[in-house]
Chains A and B, each alone.
Chain A
Amino acid sequence: MLRQIESIGARGLEVVESIGRSVVFLYQSLVRVPRPRTSLPLLIQQLYSVGVLSLVIIVVAGFFIGMVLALQGYSILVRFGAEQALGQMVALSIVMELGPVVSGLLFAGRAGSALAAEIGLMKATEQLASMEMIGVDPLHQVIAPRFWAGLISLPLLGMIFSAVGIFGGMLVGVDWLGVDSGSFWSNMQSAVDFHRDVLNGVIKSIAFAVVVTWIAVFQGYDCVPTSEGISRATTNTVVYGSLAILGLDFVLTALMFGDL
């Protein structure tokens, strides 16, 4: 009995300890004098593998989500004779919610898991340790470029998702279902505010980018260096990342749009 309570306490301490470790880890990898000559090529390499390679899944997902939204929205709005409001419905739901959240979830699955697995494998094959042996700090050489790449990529991917989604919605709404193109755009433009909706969507994306990339690189760096440990780290990245995005999304939405 006493031992069980003890183990609960130990688990709790472990969780708090790993949170603390992750903060120290982030601080150590990011705070330093920037050296553009050496770190820029590393960053571009990571931007390619984190951002460019995620582009296809983001574009395809955004396109189909926009089309489905227009189709579903139309079938409901047409009952009230308000199909002109389709543009604003599609644009607001994508720009404020679906764009940042779905692109964040896809990013956690596509890029976050790859980051965690890559770093975990580096640790398991003792590449990180050998870097330290030759006097190169793996936090600066391996972790920092990946973190910055994620931080830059996800907001861009989120905006691309939104733009493609609205384009898909327009394709279905205007070209297929026959909503008037003028009222589609003008309703959208009068309903969507640049500061309140578009910029807040981008801010959400940035917040998700920090959280997801942080979780991914920390899980990879902190994993148990065995094949089982790497698979645990990969799974944890996707699970924690997705939950963090959904939870954070509620908090951010309440802060940004709560006074409506």
Chain B
Amino acid sequence: MRARNIELAVGIFMLIGVLAFVYLAMRVSGLAMDDGGSGYTLYARFENVGSLKSRSKVTIAGVVVGRVVNVHLDREDFVAVVEMEISAKVDNLTSDTSASIMTAGVLGEQYVALELGAEEDFLQAGDEIEDTLSALVLEELIGKFLFNAK
């Protein structure tokens, strides 16, 4: 009888541990939301990416549709190349889609906002988004403002 109680207690303990792991995976890290791997890659070149980094959000109309995978410098043109993984569910981005880097709130993180165009054909995996708008750098803006005010 006592041995059975111990087995029961150990079983419950293991179960709680596994449940805690599932809780951490699903609820805390939101694993179900971004099932990595099942997506396709798009590239975009920006003059300035600000503080955009890998794992930043990619959104359409404010809805997250992908993540930034990698940001690196093009050694020839000296522009930033942003590699984005877009969810496979969103496979109908028009080829004249534009990408701009936005900031969530005043101090918030930066993300890539996609805006769809009107072309008939769609972007394929590995394609590059031509129409891009760089991040808004506050210092640059203030500099321009001061220069114009003179």
Contact = CB atoms under 8 A, between A and B. Distances in A.
Interface in A51-78: 51-52, 55
B30 A162 contact: no
B138 interface: no
Given A189-B30, A198-B25, A198-B29, A163 B20 contact: yes
Contact of A202 (B6, B13, B21): B21
Interface stretch (A13-21, A40-48, A237-245, A246-254): A40-48
Given A163-B23, A194-B29, A48 B9 contact: yes
A159 interface: yes
B13 A156 contact: yes
A160 B30 contact: no
Contacts of B55: 193
Most chain-B CB neighbours within 10 Å: which of A80, A163, A166? A163
Nearest to A47: B10
B83 to A, nearest CB: 17
A50 B114 CA distance: 53
Contacts of A153: 13
Interface residues of A, number: 32
A55 B20 CA distance: 13
Contacts of A194: 25, 29, 31
Given A189-B29, A198-B28, A156 B20 contact: yes
A190 interface: yes
Interface in B1-31: 3, 6-7, 9-10, 12-14, 16-21, 23-25, 27-31
A37 B123 CA distance: 60
A166 B28 CA distance: 8
Interface residues of B, number: 26
B107 interface: yes
Contact of A159 (B6, B12, B17): B17
B65 to A, nearest CB: 14
A192 B34 CA distance: 12
B85 to A, nearest CB: 14
A86 interface: no
Contact of B28 (A45, A47, A51, A189): A189
Nearest to B33: A189
B10 A192 contact: no
Contacts of A98: none
Contacts of B7: 44
A152 to B, nearest CB: 8
A80 B55 CA distance: 24
Contacts of B45: none
Nearest to A197: B29
Contacts of B24: 95, 159, 162-163, 166, 198
A185 interface: yes
A157 B29 contact: no
A142 interface: no
Interface string A154-176: 01110110111010000000000
Interface of B: 3, 6-7, 9-10, 12-14, 16-21, 23-25, 27-31, 33, 55, 57, 107
12 contacts: A47-B13, A48-B13, A55-B16, A156-B16, A157-B17, A160-B20, A163-B20, A163-B28, A166-B24, A189-B29, A189-B30, A202-B21
**Which A-B residue pairs are the 8 nearest by beta carbons?**
A156-B17, A189-B30, A163-B20, A159-B20, A194-B29, A192-B29, A160-B20, A194-B31
